[in-house]
Every structure is written in C-alpha cells, then in structure tokens.
A and B are shown apart, each in its own frame.
Chain A
Amino acid sequence: MTSDHASMTSDHPVDIDRQVRIYITVFVALMILTIVTVAVSYLHLPMAMAVTVALVVAAVKGSLVACYFMHLIAEKKLIYAVLVLTVVFFVVLLALPVLTHSNGYWIDE
C-alpha cells in the first residue's frame, strides 16, 4: 500500500488514532445515554415530560452518531446543504399532523 493512501482517501486526511479515541468515547456516552433512557422510563413521568426526556436523549444520541461516526462534524458544504434541505422537509412533514390536529379535522370526524 502506498504511504499516501490515507491522505488520498478523499475527505479524511486526519489523525486516525485521535479519531479512534473519539469513537471509543462516543461509544461510552451512547451506552450511558441508553441506560438513562431506560432508567427514566421506569420513573413513569407524566406523558409530556416522558416524551420530552426520551426525545431529547434520543436527539443527543443521534447527534453523536451523526457527528462522529458519520463524520458530520467536519464534512463538506454540499453535504450540509443537502441535509439542511432534508431537515426543512422533515420538519414540514412532522408539522403536518400537528396542523391538522389544530384544525380539529380528524378529532371532530
């Protein structure tokens, strides 16, 4: 293998040893947050609070996976542009039921 292999590999001419240490740290964080998610469910919090806690913890876990395992923490602008567009459409998609709900359309049916 050529010595410039790593630097040629498109987007990641980075210190892999440092990356690996980060992966292990993220793994530990994900394990702790999984335990937190399950432990909180045994507290039987009120539904609104339970949903909030579960989604916040899931969002933190998801962000860790996306940022570090999927390398989004240091990605090219075009990927960010694609993802911003995706997030906009995703939010609209999730907002549709809420908007319908506020009209009371399917509640009154």
Chain B
Amino acid sequence: MDIPYTVEVRRDTGLTNGKIGIWLFLASEVMLFGALFASYILIRAGSPSWPRGDTILNVPLATFNTIVLILSSVTMVMAWASLMRHRFGTFRIYMGATILLGFVFLVVKYFEYGHKIHLGLYPSSGNFFAVYYTLTGLHMHHVIGGMAVNAWLWGPGAKLWKTNPVWFTNRVEHSGLFWHFVDLVWIFLFPTLYLL
C-alpha cells in the first residue's frame, strides 16, 4: 500500500503527512534538549562554584564549528531550493557540501574531545564535564543522524527524483528541517557552554 499524502496535501491538516510528522518529531526533540538544558541550569545554579566555559574549553574551535554548522544550514536550504528550481546537479553539489560540512564539524569535535580526554577530563571529572559531554555528545549524535539521512538522499534515495520529484523534494525539505534544528540547538549550546 502506498504511503498516503506524501505529495498531495491533506485537506484537514493543510499539510503533507511528512511535514506534520517531522514537526511533531522536532517538538519531541525540543523537550529532550529542554530537559537537559533545565538540568544544566539546575546543576549550575546549585553548584557553589562553576568555571567559565572559556577558561576550560576551546572557544576558537567552537566558533569555527558554529560557522561550519551555519554554513551547512545554508547549503542545506540551497539544496532544497535547487530541487524547487528543477536543478538536480546543483542539488547534488549543495547536499554534498552539507554532508562534508557535517563531517568537518565531527572532525573538529574529535580533536576537541581527544584533547580533553588526553588531559584526563572525562564525563566523570565533575559536573561541568558531565554537562558538557552529555549536551555536546547528544548534539553530535544528531549531527551523525542528520548526515546519514542526507547521505542517503544524496545517494541511493535520489532515485526517487526520477519517478516522483515532488515527493523527493519534500523529503529533502523534511531532512533539512531536522538539520536546521540541529544547527539551532548548537546556536544555544555554544554560548551557554563555551562562553559563559
């Protein structure tokens, strides 16, 4: 049986099922990260002392990663815009750039974590590092998940463009919504963990 309302809009919701589905998922994601942010506030406010992030963490590296993620959001939305303009080749370039930028983010994260571990700073090294590893670790897993979906849409999943371009365009838009959300989370993680 075909999946209903992938292309045509449902009359009652005014949306495709994929669109409402991804937004409901993102709503649950807001609660997941919200719970962790609330925990961070609670732990930090209850702590007798708390180090400023920039005295422990590498701000230039994190700033670079912030720029990388924002840039990847632009390439992601341009990938979708390319499909809207019926330019599949351009889509491939922008989507490829998005995946590559995600990879750059992970490489920087690898060096950042590696340096901390080399110094013997683990999640068990105190409340600051417990919060730091939990929040950035969960975010990093979201980056990996987003990259996996984008890689599929860039590669084997792109076959759909030939048979049902509208459905494929919608899939890219929905994957993009997730990717932008991951960027949005980082926009809040960066100042609250690294700069304050």
Chain A residues in the interface with B (C-beta under 8 A)? 1-2, 5-6, 8-12, 16, 19-20, 23-24, 27, 30-31, 34, 37-38, 41, 47, 50-51, 54-55, 57-58, 61-62, 65-66, 69-70, 76-79, 82-83, 85-86, 89-90, 93-94, 96-98, 100-101, 106-107
Contact = CB atoms under 8 A, between A and B. Distances in A.
B183 A65 contact: yes
Contacts of A41: 54, 59, 191, 195-196
Q: Which of A27, A57, A77 has the most CB of B within 10 A?
A: A27
B16 A97 contact: no
A44 B28 CA distance: 35
Identify whether the interface residues of B are mostly helix, strand, loop, or mixed.
Answer: helix
Given A77-B14, A79-B15, A55 B84 contact: no
The winner among B59, B81, B86, B187 for most chain A CB atoms within 10 A is B187
B66 interface: yes
B50 to A, nearest CB: 10
Contact of B85 (A16, A62, A69, A93): A16
Interface string B157-186: 000000001100110010011001101100
Interface residues of B, number: 55
B34 interface: yes
Given A41-B191, A90-B30, A62 B184 contact: yes
B159 to A, nearest CB: 15
B63 interface: yes
Given A47-B196, A93-B31, 18 more contacts: A9-B166, A9-B169, A10-B7, A10-B9, A11-B9, A11-B16, A23-B77, A27-B71, A27-B74, A30-B70, A34-B63, A55-B191, A69-B73, A79-B23, A86-B31, A89-B34, A94-B41, A101-B45
